[in-house]
Every structure is written in structure tokens, then in C-alpha cells.
Structure 1
Amino acid sequence: MAGNKYQQFRAQPRLPKFAVPKRYDLKLKPDLTACKFFGSVQISVDVVSNTKFIVLNASELSVDSKSVRFSSSTKVLEAVEVEMCEDDEIMVVDFGKSLPIGVGILSIAFEGTLNDRMKGFYRSVYEHNGEKKNMAVTQFEPADARRCFPCWDEPACKATFKITLEVPSELVALSNMPVLEEKVDGNLKTVSYQESPIMSTYLVAIVVGLFDYVEDQTPDGIAIRVYCKVGKAHQGKFALDVAVKTLGIYKEYFAVPYSLPKLDMIAIPDFAANAMENYGLVSYRETALLYDDKHSAAANKQRVAIVVAHELAHQWFGNLVTMEWWTHLWLNEGFATWVSYLATDSLFPEWQIWTQFLEESTEGLRLDGLSESHPIEVDVKHAGEIDEIFDAISYRKGAAVIRMLQNYLGAKCFQRALASYIKKHACSNAKTEDLWSVLQEESGESVNELMNSWTKQKGYPVVSAKLKGQILEFEQSPFLLIGAPGDGQWVVPVTLCSGSYDSRKRFLLKANSEAHNIKELLGASFSKSSSWLKINVDQAGFYRVKYDDALLARLRNAIENKFLSTMDRYGILDDSYALSMACQQSLTSLLALMGAYKEETNYTVLSNLISISSKVVRITEDAVPHLLDDIKLFFINLFQYSAERLGWDPKPGESHLDAMLRGELLAALALFGHEETQKEASRRFHIFLDDRDTPVLPPDLRRAVYVAVMLSVTKSNRSGYDALLKVYRESDLSQEKTRILGSLGSCEDPDIILEILNYLLSSEVRSQDAVHGLNVSRAGCEVAWKWLKDNWDQIAKTYGPGFLITRFISSIVSPFSSYEKAAEVEAFFAGRMKPYIARTLKQSIERVHINAKWVQSIQNEKNLGDVVSQPAYRKYKYGFWFALAMVPILFFYLCFW
């Protein structure tokens, strides 16, 4: 702890600006056996105002105070005192005398530990020729470069980096830039790299280990490699192809070429995030970079394409042009998310990726529907708060409001403005207002006025539409899932069409309410009483729509008759679900709407329908358990058409989307208790156990089959669980391992659930992967909560501040649905609060309150049983017996006709 002498520098969100870095000459020597590293750095510092102090970031480092000196052209000053302030993660150097104004060299020698927390400079463990080995890896975003070397660890403090590594001679050593020189001296080699362009500390990257690679180059001559564990190089070919083509797409779209001479992408066995956009050396989880033609599912292939496109977008949005401070994180993540879909759509148009983008938007809407949400531009006051804003607001809401703005301004205008923005701020930093300024200049529209309401305040509106005679009334109000009144008013880009998509209308809803003559607004297209009216066409806007009963009935009819676009079918369903959860619409009404989708065939719509169905089953299990069997039957019937259309076995030449859909449908049917699905899954699983290459269980079906197997597992009949663990242990494919972990929690035996949760913390499961097994059945909720409390100290120690620890809280707490449980959770964490879990904990408790209120609302519904008990929705249950009874009748008919 620093004394009062340095109090002026403590508890500040930003470093003082009397000295700024210009260049780092960084030398590191990692010891992969002892898991330590030694280093020295010489930083060219521009002293811009009178000071005898230099204050920079450092954490978990041991600094040799005798090595700390400042050299200028006129003098050399030794440090009088070096104070490490661990709570604030800063290092205060007192030179006793004023430093000369101008550029000098700050020299520091230090050492540190290769930690096991997947942040800073850390170790990852892999196996080579049956022997476990360590590799050294960096992960510096958001603020962990300070755990590797003393630095100005803020995005605005850009500098160039000259990096030198001393490593075992047999290992591969990678950094941001190409190798300049390599000298071998016995068992060690010294590798020097070209000096980097100006960049932020969080983008510096170093990886040391044993790797194979595949390589290619762009038409411009940019060398691209995909590195991975030895023996897996063939799994990098798909990502390599995507990367080569994506760089070309972005070069054209941004009108600026990729700015480095090489691009490496590397799969890391232990990695907390999905991927990290380090300049010129992008790191990934294995599941996000590697694709195996034989054992990876279609969903894995799609994920690799999108994640690669996302990280390469950052080479422009984030690396070339960098946010000024973490408040503007969304400029990085929102744009990279949106642009990744643009690139993926260009490469794979048959995937209908823009329709799937609605799932991104939905995740943003669901998080931003909480009162404990935060604005896109969030005020960050401490480094410990940064991790929690790497969430669906920064990524998904950010991407959705960008899509909304592009839709409003037009695609060509938007692209021209982005290219201007990149060129204007290249090699520099930018704020949100800088982007709005360029867009406003290019379009002539009041972009600031439109967008400030979406980025500077949390939440979004629900736009209510009521038709009274010839008058269509619009009203906007803040939407909260908890159902309480909210604050805020937005400039809402309303789009609408009626009867067809040939004529679309748009206007900005700025006031709380407006009224329009329907004929003047839509003309003759709304003349018939049966004409449908769709607001927020193709779900381009980031808001919910609530229709009056008459307008909703027209839309339900339009869905049944297949009049609406895929995106609009998705949007109507998703809005209705959110309104039901917020108790603004009955569950009875939602189920009646869902019934209109019984012949739906689109992957994205059905995927959301499955997700909503699962959540409805979960909440009705608490609210109306006596109707649970009927509700499950309702959903089994709802999915029968699509399941029968696809069948169990892949068809020659079938689409990528059908391949993904089949597994999701079968998993849902198994979870809802469809006996034939469960039996067939069990049959195929046992064939698979004898032959892992059998065609009866292709990768796209495995999760569904694993879920079905776990549903039958009990303490007295655990063979399915033991068999799955055997598959897990024998597989070397990360995607297969996470598939299995994500299926285990569907077991309904509390004793087995506890065993599974304990297994997640064992040495057999990588720390990064444990979160995949946290979603458990309702029967396991109480067990999981007790387990979390019993193991919290270990979990907090293992995961600490970072991306993953919040998943333990949200996954286990959020499914509860009683006010008593919310109070119990709050009481447990009252003495365990840390800045990096505070927001997630509040959000999770709010979700429990939302569920509790929804349960009470459902219990008060009068006609819910009638909807799910209709003969139309019971035909599956009695279908077999009905068919059996028809046999003699049919025989009689044929004989005597």
C-alpha cells in the first residue's frame, strides 16, 4: 500500500498526463518450467509538464528499484523511491528532482509469474507426445498488459513496440510483427521482431510454445498463417480460407488496406475469451478457430467464420482506429460484431446470416430490458469495472443500433462515411462523437440527435400501436422486463408496411405519442379489414412493438398464411415473448401466437421458437405444474411438422441451415419428453459408443443425442453419464468436449447434478470450459446454488477478476423464480462483493424478480389450460391409438366399397 505521500495519484480512473510514452523497447525471458518470466523495458517518454514523478501501470510484478532511472540528453536521474500501489495497479516513481521537459528514456527491470488465470502473461497447458507441456501466452485486454511489463496501460496512450524474446531454441516464438533476427545460442535463442506501428498496450501479443501451421497469402502479398497444436494443422484450413477472403472484403469496404505485413491466427488451449484481436497475432480458443470436417458440426463451422471475421474487423475498428477510453468500447465491439455479419454474408450468402443476426439483437434487447442494464457509453472509473461491460450491450446492442442507423441512412452512404472515418482517425483514437460527426457530414442527417438517445441512456422503448377507426395511434414508453415504469425518451426510426412489402413508410417518432390517418400514411394497402400491418419492418430498429388485439390477430393470420418475411415472423414472436415475460401480455396470448408457427421451416425463426418454448416450460413448471404435461405436449405437436420434414438422417445436398436445425429440433423434442426421440437417440448413442465414426451419429446430431442420454440418467442407472465421460476423456477435439459439457446439466437427478458440478472444477476440465456445464435442469437448481456457495472461495480464487467468473453467477442464479431466493442470493453475496461481479449480480437478482412476477401473472390466467388442451394440440398424444382404432374401419371400408 502506498503512503499518503502518493495519495494524489491513487483511486483515479486515468493516469496523470504529465508524461506520455512514445516507444517501448521490451525484452522478455519466460521460464516455462518454473512458470516465471524476467524482463526489462526502456520506454521513450515525452515529459510535457513539470514533474518529479512518473506514474504508470504495474501489477503483480516485482520491480528492481535500483534499475529504475530516467535518461535524457542532458542528465541521468536515479529513482529516489519506487512505490507499487497494488490496489490501484499503479507504480509511482519519485525522482526527487524535476525531470527535464522533452523526450527521455525510462528504464525498468522486473520479473513476474506466468499465472493460471488466463490474463496478463500466463501459462497454457497442452500435451505433446503424451507429455504435458507449458506454453506462454498473453491476454492483455482490457487492462492486463500491466501484469507483464510496466506501461501506460490505457488505450489512448499509443506507442510503438520493439519486442525481443529469449526462449528455448526448439519452440516457436510469435509476436505482433514479423521476425527481424533470430540468434541461436545452445538451448536458447533470441528472437527480435520488427518495430510495430503505433498501437495501444492491450494489443501487444506474445506466444511461445510448440505449434504446427498452415499458410496462404492474400493477392496483396500479406502472409497469413493459422497456428495450432502439433498434429491439428488440417483443422486450420477453413479459418485460413475465411481470413484470406475477409481481408479482401474489408480492404474494399473500408477503402483502406490491412496495415501490417503479416497476419497470424493462433489457437490457444486455455483462453478465457472467444478470441482476441491482437494486432497481427490474433489469438482464439480452439473452438473458435479450428474446424474438423469429420467431427465438427455445421454450427461450429459458422461460429469459426463469424469469429474470424469479427477479429479481423478489429484490425481496422479497434487497432488502426482505437477508442479513446473504455467508455467507447462499443466502437470496437459493436462495429466488429456488425461488420462480421457483413463479411460472412458475402462469403456464405446461403447461410442467411442477416436473418440470424436477429439473435444478436435479441440478446441485446433481453439484457437492455433490465433496470440494471447500462448505456452503450458507460462511465468507467476503475479498471476492475471494465470486464463487466464486455457484454451484450457493448457487442449486441452496439451492433443492432449500427444496423438501425445503416438502415436509416442507406447502405452506400453509410459505407462512404465509415471509410472517411477510418482514414481520418487512422493510427489515432476516437470517441463516439467523432463517428457521428463523419456520418452526419456524409448523410446530411441529424445523426447526433438520432443516436445520442440510443448510446447515452440505457434501455429502449416499446412502441404501442392502436387502430381507432381510421386513426393509427403510436406511443413510445421505456420497456422493462420487470414491468415497472422506466425513464427515457428516444428518437425512434419507425418503419411500417401493410399488405405487402412493395410500399414501406418511415418516420421519426420523437414525441411520446403521435397519431396518423391510416389512409394518408399507408394509402390503399390497408383498405381491407384482413390486411396486416407490420411495424419495425425486418426488425431493423432496436425496440419492441406492442399491437392492440385486432392488429395482433391480423398478424397471426398473416403468419399462418405465410405472408410475412422471415425477419418479421421472428420479430413478432420475440416481441410477444418479451411482452409476456414483462406481464404486458398474457401467456395464453403468446401460446396462441406460437401455434401459428406450426408449419414454420426457417432455421432462425424455429431456433428462437425452440428457445422460447424451453423458457416457457421452465416458468410454467413453477407457475402451473398441473399443466406442465399439456404444455410440453403442445410444444411437441408444434415442432412435429419440421421434425418430420427433416428426419434423423442428413439428406444429400441439404442446406447448412437444415443441418443446424435438425439437432436443435431433436434436442427440444427430447427435453419435452417425446419418447420416440429419446429411444432413437439411445439407439444411435450405443452404436456410436462401439464405432465413433458411425454415420448414424454425425456431429450435428450429437448434442441432441447427448441431451437425450442424460435425461435418462439416475443415481441407480448412470451408465449413460459414465459413457459420456468416457467419450469426453478420449476426445481431443475441443468442440466435442464443450458439446458434452453443455449436455450434462439436462440430467434430472440432483445427486448426479452435484457430481457433474464437482467434475467441472476438477483437473480434467479446463478452467475456460467449466462454464459450459453450468446450465442445469430445474431439478438441479437448488443443488447448483448450494454448490456455488460451498465452492465460491475456490471459484473466486481460480477465476478472479475476468470474463468467466460472472458466468457462474448468471447461469446458476438467474433461473430462480421466487422473491425469497433473490433475497437469499443477495444476503450470501453481501459480504463477498467485488467490483467485477457487482453488475452481473444485480442483473441476475433482477431476473429472479422478473421470473417471480411472471409466475404470479401466469397463475392468475383463466384460459391457459384451454389453449394447450385444444384437440388440435393433443393429436400427437393420441395419434397412435387413433391410427390403431382406424385399422378395422379402414379394412371394412376397403372390403365393402
Structure 2
Amino acid sequence: MGKVYYVSKNVGLGMLVLAVAALATIIALSIAYDKERAKNRGKPGDEATDSTSMPPPPTTPFIPKEPWDHYRLPDSLVPLSYNVTLWPRLEPDARGMFVFTGHSAVVFRCVKETDLIIIHSNKLNLTTFYGHHAKLTGLGKATVPTIQKSWLVVKTEYLVLQLHSRLAVGSLYLLYTEFLGELADDLQGFYRSEYIEDGVKKVVATSQMQATYARKTFPCFDEPAMKAVFNVIIIHDRATVALSNGRDIDTVDSVIDGVPVSVTTFEPTERMSTYLLAFIVSDFVKIQSTQNNSLLVRIWARRKAIADRQGDYALSVTGPILQFYEHYYNATYPLSKSDQIALPDFNAGAMENWGLITYRETALLYDPMLSSTGNKERVTTVISHELAHMWFGNLVTLQWWNDLWLNEGFASYVEYLGADYAEPTWNIKDQIILSDVHKVFAVDALASSHPLSRREEEVNNPAEISEMFNTISYSKGAAVLRMLSEFLTEPVFAKGLSSYLNTFAFNNTVYTDLWDHLQKAVENTPGMHIPHTVHNIMNHWTLQMGFPVVTIDTRTGSITQKHFLLDPDSVVDRPSQFNYTWFVPIKWMKTGVEQQQYWLLQKTDINSQMRVSGEDWVLANTNVSGYFRVNYDLYNWDRLLSLLSTNHQALSIINRAQIIDDTFNLARYNQINAVGYACGMGVEGCRELIKSWYRQWMENPHHNPIHPNLKSTVYCSAIAFGGVEEWDFAWRMFKNATLASEASRLRAAMSCTKAPWLLNRYLEYTLDPTKIRKQDATSTIQYVARNIVGMPLAWNFVRARWGYIFQQYGKGSFSFSNLINGITKRFSSEFELQELKKFKEENLHVGFGSATLALEQAIEKTTANIKWVTENKAHVLKWFTEESK
């Protein structure tokens, strides 16, 4: 059972009014929905005249002419193994630059005759050998051709070697390169992270290879299907420790070029993809445990963080979660150790590098005295997500990035299962509805959405790959896989999953391989029946975008499905081979009694069992097991409303949430929201209480009287109520914070001020990495945009500095699209729409990278918002006016 919270009578009544108001809109929205359907009938010839449907201005397409013009590698060479040696310098050179040097030898097999070697290399200065960038030798009896010429291709990020003769099919060759790269602070490839500890600036050399950054570290065949074994050696300062994917097997002291160093050799990796590599040099320390008498589990972090026991919780849950996955997958953990490390500068939330998982500090570290329960929950779910990848994604890897959704969607689903095993009293599995299903509904209801699985040719260059790391891939992927598990049942799903992982271990797949093994599990399960094959059912959900709204008329038993769009008049340009019809598994109940699962396989059907009369009612999509919305006839809505008013516990919490969210909004029965609502609505005494708590802290910065669970709300409200004194205090506490989650709360809270000059100053801070870390820049701008005062300031700031922001943060960041989404979320006027379009036109020469689709969606959402406001603001104003009388 969760913690019980008590609220004042006024607050309780306020929350009740909100909930009832949301439920009351069910009737209005149901009627409006029916009217909209009726209005749209008979208008197939109507054409959109809005300028957003106009084609973009013509551009000159890039037409590849040579093999090195293509972003995809040729299929003539296959890597087998690498020997990689890296030496990062943690002190600047004479030019003030941080650099790393290294050399690499890759053994590859020729599988098709070719006189070209094309291998990825980006932003590396390569040593020349006899006028060429690499040395080529033959292994065994292979005759090695001489190199005619070699060059670097900036656009496609290749090193190209033109040979005098062809390589022989079946023969093995070795390509040796030496290189120098910048250990920059760009959060990509092999990069530099800096932090202050005990007044001393310290430097960490760390890495982020996903999706296309291994090529910034050493020349490699940098595609997920190009798996190989990696033998790694790291040269580093003797006062530091080196980490990589494999367990260290030897560390010796040496002197190289007059510099005393340590040389650490690691065990060979398993056969793996380049994007899962990790290399780290730091003076971090660890805590550790041993699982099953052999598996070494370690948590690494800054010395002070470990001394403050901030890594203890992560260590305590890692073992149980690993045990859960071993049982769930029916496959032992495939490596000899599991390292997890918290980094001061890290762009993603976490990264599943095989055997060495990297995290933002907020995602791994937890202080039992200072952190909130929300922080604890985040640590558990992120660890569970990344450990899920150790099998699904790492052991078995999707062949290309077009199927990224299966990798990330799967981990986003089973993270709830792993976390539930580690913390069974939290009921965390229910939160997938709020955190994933309802969140992605808002995006997938746009005409500019996209299918989960794209064609390979749609995802080529690094920006297109980065764009795949979006809400559709993660949250919709999780939602449809949860639906699949629900209609197959969890035991059948797990059986097929285990077969898939054990069959393809250390290899690559396409998403249909999983369907094959799930289908076999169905066929091998007595009594198991589904109306079509797993392939046919899931193709309807993965190969077309969007989702249906299922409308049930309980007077007639009529059931229909229709593509749900935020704006019903929007034009869907993307064709669908299934004509936007889904195979919909509907779990349902009648008057509290669970019924046999029903499948809606066409646009319209009749189910006599769903006809009801009297006080009986129907509730479909119980526990929100399916990825679709539900609408009913007015009479059934009335009966459900009556039920919720008299006996709300007759329905599960999830379905109560579903009913409200399917119609208007979701209201939740806790203390954090109660305080936020109370202050926002001007409840007497709330402002004074918040200000007094914050003032007590300001008077004694070493003692914070605010409960961890209330800090986010209290900080934000106090800064909003206050002025420069409160803001500057928060800034000092932010800069001095030793707990990452505390710094994150303060960073968000400082965006709550109502003073425009403070918000503008804060926005300027985001461009200074000594004030706001690069990993936090775009999210800080989004925080300012949430503030109604800050929204136009953030928008003007981004427009004025788009070129700089894009170059610094945008080109390859998975989360960069969130910046556009966050700033434009509340756009709802014609003026804002025209500004968006102008912004697009004025920056076509700069580009939008991974935010390209987000900008199109922002234009579509703004258009839909304008229409909604125009059609509904008078009705809403009238409703509020009447309710207040």
C-alpha cells in the first residue's frame, strides 16, 4: 500500500471539483466528437487550403555517384576483431587543447571482390604511412594489394583507400592506423568532462558512442551489424583508473615519451557493435558486490558521492534486477562484470554500453537523507532499463537504426517489470500508463507522426538516425509491446523472447525475427489462440502511424474504429497499406464482470454482448492493456459517471485514470500536487507557508527544512513569489550542490521566477558551460519556456541564436528535438504560427538536424491548437462562468 496523505478541507474540495469538472466534460466531448464525425461525413472532396499543407521550397538533392558518397557502408568487407590502444591527456597541451592519441588494427574478411576499403573516420588526424593514411597487410596466405591513394570524406565521414588491385574473397586483412583526436567537451565520442571537488578542478575522459560517434574515437566499421571482438588497452595517468567494457586483466607502470603512465589491458569483449563501446579514465572510486559467487557488480562515482553513500541504493537494486532478467530471459548474464558509472557531464539519461553503463548523476546516485522518492524511483527505473539492454539490444542487436523502436521500446516496457521485482511495494507497473501511453498519445495523434518501423532507406545520415530517438520509439514502442504481451499472456511472450535471444545471441536481427519466435511460442502453447499471426497483427501497429479511437454504442452493440487525430480535419499524407485499420484486442467488462477478450478486426462490427440496458454499463480496454482510446454513447458515459460518483472503487485506478485522460485530463488523490494546486489557486496560508520554509533555509543554508518530496514544488513557488534575493540564493545552492538530483531541482526551480530580466539572464547562462553544463543547456531553456512569462523570452532567445545553438547542441543530440517541442508546446495563436513558419524559412540554410520532424510537428500542433481555441473557448468560458455562480 502506498503512503496515505492528508489534505485540508479546502484543498480536498478543490481537488474534488477539478476531478468532477474533468469527468463532466465527458458528456460535452462525447457530443462534440459525434458532431465532428457528422460534420466530416460527405466531404471527401474538400481540400486543405492552409499553407502548412503546401510543399516545401525545392532544394537540390544530393545524388550519390561513388561508393563513398553513400552513408551506408558497402557490403564487401566484414570486421572480425580490433586491437585498440588509446591515451587520453587530462591536461591541456601547449595550445590549451585536450587531446587523445591512439592506434588501431582491425582484422577484416573480404566477402565480395573490391578494390576499395571504406571505413568510418570522423574528426581524427591520421598519421600518414608512405603518403597514405593507413597500413594494409594480408593475413595467412593473402596477397596484399598496394594502396594507390587514400583520402577522407567529410560529408559521409569515411576514410577511403583506393587499391591497385582487388582484395580476394575469403581472405583476411589487417588495417593499421594511428591517430590524434580532440578530447573536446562536446559530449560525443571520446570526450572530456570537468568538475570541481574540494576546490580542485578535475577532468574525466569518457565516451558516448551511440549512435555514430565511435568513428570519432578510432577508424572503425561503425554500423550496428558490423559486430566484432575488441581488444582494448588504455594508457593513463598513474593517479587515475581506466575502465572499458571488459574486465581489466593487467595494469603495469611504464614511461612513454618521458611521461610516467599506467597501461591497463582489458579482456577481449564478446562479439559486439561499435556503438556499445565505452572508455573511461578518471580518479573515481567504487563500491562493489559479487552476484552468484562470480559476477562482479560495481558502482563508480566521484569520491565525495561514494563517501556520502550516494551509490549504495544503486548497488542494492542492481543484483535483484539482474537476477530478474536472467530468469525472465532464461539466459545468464553474458559478461564477467557489470560496471555502472555516474558522470558529471552526460547528454543522454544513461547509455547501455555492454558491461560499462554510463549515467547522468541524477539517474544513478541517491541520497537517502536529501533525495526524494521520485529520485529513488528514477534511479530504479533507469537502472532497470539499461540492464534490460544487456540482453535485448546488446547480446542480440537490431541490424539497422530503422528498427530502433524495438530496442528502446522493449527496454522502456520491461524496465517496469525489473523495477517492480526490485521494489514490489511501489506498484510501479501501473505508471507505464502515465509515463508512456498517455504521453505518446499526444504525439501519435498528429498527422506528422510516423510508424514505429521505418524503411532502411529512410534512415541514413547521422541526423536521421538521431531523430529516431524520440517519443514514438520509446513510449509507443513500450505501449504496443505491452499490448502484445497482454494479448499473448506474459508466459507465452517470455517463452518466445527467450527463444529469440538464445537463437540470435551475439548476432543481429530484424524486428520480424522476434515475431517468428513469438508465433512459435503461440503454436506450442496448448489452447492458445489469436485471430491472425503475430506478424499480421503487429504489422498493423508498427508499419502504420497513429492509433484508433474505438467507439462503442451500448444501445446497439455497434463497435467502430477510426484513426484518432488531434485535428480531425488535418490531412494525413503518409499512405497506409492497412488503410488506417488496426487489429484491436479489446479486454472489457460488463457491470464489473470481466468478459472474454474481443478482437475488432475491421472498421465496423457488431457485438451483441456489449448491448446493455438499465443500470448496466460497459468498460472497454480494462487496465489500458491496448494502445487505443475509447469513446461510448452518451448513455454509457452517464452510467460510468454515476458509478464513479457513487462507487469509484468498482473500477481500477488505471481505468479511472483512463476514463479521465481519454476525455480531458488526468487528476491525481497526493500531497505534492495538493501543495502545488493550493498555492496556484491562492488557498489562504499556502504562499506564507512556502515563503517561510524557503526563508528558513536562506537563513541557515546548511539546514534545509523542506521535505525532499516537496522540494521541487516549494523551490519553484518560493522563487516565483520572490525576487532577485531568492533567485540568487537558489543559484548559490545550485553551484554548491553535491547531490545531482538537488542541483537538477534547483536548476528547474530558477526558471519559475516571474521577473523577465532574471529569466533573460538565466537564458544567457545556458550558453556558458561554466555556468550551465552543456548536458543541461537545452533542458534549461525548456524549463524557462514552461513559465508563461518565460515562453516568449525562450522563443526569442532560441530564434536569435539558432545557428550557434544548433552547432553546439543540435546536430547529433537525440534529445534536441525536445527543445523545439518544449518551447512551442503552448503555441495557439495565428501570430505564433506565422513566427514558426518564418523561423523555418529563415533557418533552412542552417538546418534543424534531429529536430527536423519536431519542427513540422510544432507547426501542426499549433494549427490544431488554434482551431481548438477558436471552436471551444466560448463554450469553456461559459462553463466556467456558470460553475462559479
TM-score under structure 2 normalisation?
Answer: 0.85
Does residue 42 (structure 1) correspond to residue 113 (structure 2)? The answer is no
Aligned positions of 1:135-214 closer than 5 A:
135-186=204-255, 187-214=260-287
Partners of 2:264 and 2:146 lie apart in 1 by 30
1:246-270 residue CA offsets vs partner (Å, 9 max, x unmatched): 1111111111000100110000100
2:434 is the counterpart of 1:351: no
Return the letter of the residue paired with 2:600.
L
Superposition pairs of residues 360-509 of structure 1, within 5 angstroms: 360-379=436-455, 380-444=459-523, 445=530, 446-468=533-555, 471-484=556-569, 486=572, 488-500=580-592, 502-509=593-600
Moved more, 758-767 or 394-403: 758-767
Letter in 2 for 1:394: S
Describe how 1:494-893 pairs up with structure 2 within 5 A: 494-500=586-592, 502-517=593-608, 520-521=609-610, 526-527=612-613, 529-560=614-645, 561-562=647-648, 563-577=650-664, 608-609=666-667, 642=669, 661-692=670-701, 694=703, 696-713=705-722, 717-762=723-768, 763-773=770-780, 774-775=782-783, 776-801=786-811, 802-830=813-841, 831=844, 832-861=846-875, 864-867=877-880, 869-870=882-883
Q: Do the aligned partners of 2:71 and 2:156 also contact (CA within 8 Å) in 1?
A: no
Deviates more, 1:694-703 or 1:233-242: 694-703
> What is the rounded CA distance, in whole Å, between the counterparts of 2:463 and 2:883 in structure 1?
54
Kept after mapping to 1: 8 A contact 2:64/2:70: no
User: After superposition, what is the alpha-carbon deviation per residue over 1:146-185, rounded to whole angstroms, capped at 9, x for unaligned?
Assistant: 1111111111110000001111111110000011211102
Q: Deviations over 1:562-592 (max 9, x none)?
A: 1211010111111112xxxxxxxxxxxxxxx
3-state SS, counterpart of residue 281 of structure 2 = strand
Whole-angstrom CA distance in 1 between matches of 2:330 and 2:78: 31
Give the CA deviation at 1:842: 1.1
Partner of 1:300: 375
Q: For residues 428 and 777 of structure 1, what CA distance do their matches in structure 2 show?
A: 48
Residue 852 of structure 2 aligns to a residue whose secondary structure is: helix
The residue number in structure 1 matching 2:360 is: 285
Distance 1:268 1:699 in 2: 23
The letter of the residue matching 1:223 is L
Structure 1 position 111 matched with structure 2 position 180: yes
Alignment partner of 1:326 is 2:404? no
Mean alpha-carbon deviation: is it higher for 102-111 or for 762-771? 762-771
Aligned partners of 2:136 and 2:705: how far apart in 1? 69
What corresponds to 1:27 in structure 2? 85
Q: Deviations over 1:280-320 (max 9, x none)?
A: 00000000000011111100000000000100000000100
Displacement of 1:126 in angstroms is 1.6
Contact persistence 1:822–1:849 (CA under 8 A) = yes
Aligned to 1:71: 137
Please tell me the residue identity of whatever aligns with 2:825.
Answer: S
CA distance in 1, matches of 2:338, 2:610: 52
Q: Distance in 1 between matches of 2:765 and 2:835?
A: 26
* Aligned-partner residue type, residue 242 of structure 1: V
**Quick one: which amino acid aligns to residue 291 of structure 1?**
Y
Partners of 1:69 and 1:78 within 8 A in 2: no
Equivalenced residue count is: 778
Q: CA deviation at 1:5?
A: 14
The one-letter code sitting in structure 2 at the alignment partner of 1:704 is: T
Q: Take 1:253 and 1:326, find their aligned partners in 2: how far apart are those partners?
A: 26
Q: Secondary structure at the match of 2:858?
A: helix
Counterpart residue type for residue 91 of structure 1: L
SS in 2 for 1:870: helix
Q: Deviation per CA, 1:626-681, whole angstroms, max 9, x where unpaired? A: xxxxxxxxxxxxxxxx5xxxxxxxxxxxxxxxxxx422332233234434222211
1:768·1:804 contact (CA, 8 Å) conserved in 2? no
SS in 1 for 2:167: coil
The Cα offsets for residues 189-226 of structure 1, whole Å up to 9 and x where unpaired, read as 11111100100000011001110111011124200000
| TM-superposition CA deviations, 1:307-346 (whole Å, max 9, x none) | 0010000000010000111111122111111111001112
State how far apart, in whole Å, the 1-side matches of 2:145 and 2:200 are. 49
Cα-to-partner distance string for 1:800-851 (whole Å, 9 max, x where unaligned): 3212432322211222111331221222232332332211111222222222
Distance 1:505 1:749, change over 3 A: farther
Deviation of the 1:13 alpha carbon? 4.0
Q: Which residue of 2 aligns with 1:215?
A: 288
CA distance in 1, matches of 2:480, 2:296: 35
For 1:574 and 1:711, locate their aligned partners in 2 and report how far apart those are by CA, in whole Å. 29
- Secondary structure of the 2:439 match is helix
Distance 1:142 1:98 in 2: 31
Q: What residue is the counterpart of 2:46 in the other structure?
A: none
What 5-or-longer segments of structure 2 have no aligned partner? 1-61, 93-97, 524-529, 573-578
Measure, in 2, the Cα distance between the counterparts of 1:508 and 1:138.
Answer: 47
Q: CA distance change for structure 1 residues 12 and 506 in 2, over 3 Å: closer, same or farther?
A: same
Instruction: Find the aligned partners of 2:702 and 2:501 in 1 and give their Cα distance.
Output: 49
Deviation at residue 869 of structure 1 after TM alignment: 4.4
Identity over the aligned pairs, expressed in percent? 31
Give, as a single letter, the amino acid of the residue that structure 2 aligns with 1:543.
F
Which deviations, in whole Å up to 9, do the C-alpha atoms of 1:56-77 show, x marking residues without a partner?
1111111223251221134344
Paired residues of 2:211 and 2:466 also in contact (CA < 8 A)? yes
2:779 and 2:819 in contact (8 A); partners too: no
| 8 Å contact from structure 1 (residues 164, 192) kept in 2 | yes
CA-based RMSD: 2.0
- Report the counterpart of residue 27 of structure 2 in structure 1: none
Distance across 2 between alignment mates of 1:320 and 1:137: 23
**Distance (Å, rounded) in 2 between the aligned partners of 1:79 and 1:834:** 39
Higher relative contact order (Cα pairs below 8 Å, separated by 6+ residues): 2
TM-score w.r.t. length of structure 1: 0.84
C-alpha distance in 2 between matches for 1:410 and 1:418: 12
Structure 1 gaps of 5+ residues are 578-593, 595-607, 611-641, 643-660, 875-897
The structure-2 alpha-carbon separation of the partners of 1:5 and 1:693, relative to structure 1 and needing over 3 Å to count, comes to closer
Q: CA deviation at 1:731?
A: 1.4
- Deviations along 1:695-716, one digit per CA (max 9) or x if unpaired, are 7411111111112112224xxx
